[in-house]
Amino acid sequence: MYYIENNGAGIKLGAILFDFLSSYEENFRELVFVCIGSDRITGDSLGPLVGHSLSRQGLSSAYVYGTLSNPVHALNLRETIEEINLRHPDSLVIAVDASLGTRKHTGCLTISRGALEPGLGVKKKLPPVGDISITGIVNSAGNFDHFNLQTTKLSTVVRMADAIVFGILLAYRRYFYGTARISVQT
């Protein structure tokens, strides 16, 4: 797992994600982004914010599940995974979610190979998802995890979502088109 601090986080994330995509051992025809979270809790809105931004980019060979208007969360995650397995059997799945961590790591992004286990921070047992995992540590873990998610600053979540989207677009364009030119729509 890589921890990425604030300064240049999008560029660093993009470089690592590109390396992951380039070294992936199995052939994949498309990317599927599963952006997990709820738009009703500030700290948990990271995934839907990323999904919202990615869905507006018109990326060919890429599909986005989990947006502000159609979030993927604890109540529909299993069904979403089943749908992805059915509709996108030759895909590489990249899961994005908010997480809680140590005070020292608050504000950091993480990226790792392997499945993401959503809900761990709030002690929910949900199915793992993804071949690559990206998280944003939105607040510190503790005795009041639900409260910490509810009181997370929106500006923190938006900054992290912007960095994740920037990194994903950087890696996507470099991998599929050999260029790192970014045009971000707002």
Q: Which CATH class is domain 2-177?
A: alpha beta
**What is the average pLDDT across 146-150?**
73
Rg of the chain's alpha carbons, rounded to an integer? Answer: 15
pTM of the model: 0.92
CA–CA dist 48, 51 (Å, integer): 5
Strands (E), the chain: 2-4, 30-35, 62-65, 91-101, 109-113, 132-140
Nearest to 44 by CA among 63, 69, 68: 68
**What is the average pLDDT across 33-37?**
97
**What is the average pLDDT across 22-35?**
92
**What is the average pLDDT across 171-181?**
83
- At residue 42's C-alpha, the angle toward residues 134 and 93, to 5°, is 25
CA–CA dist 148, 54 (Å, integer): 26
Phi and psi angles of residue 37, each rounded to the nearest 5 degrees, phi first: 150, 180
CA–CA dist 65, 48 (Å, integer): 9
Supply the pLDDT for residue 186: 38
- Mean residue pLDDT of the chain comes to 90
Q: Is 28 exposed, middle or buried (0-12, 13-18, 19+ CB in 10 A)?
A: middle
pLDDT, greater one: 186 or 139: 139
**What is the average pLDDT across 109-118?**
96
**What is the average pLDDT across 60-87?**
96
Supply the pLDDT for residue 144: 63
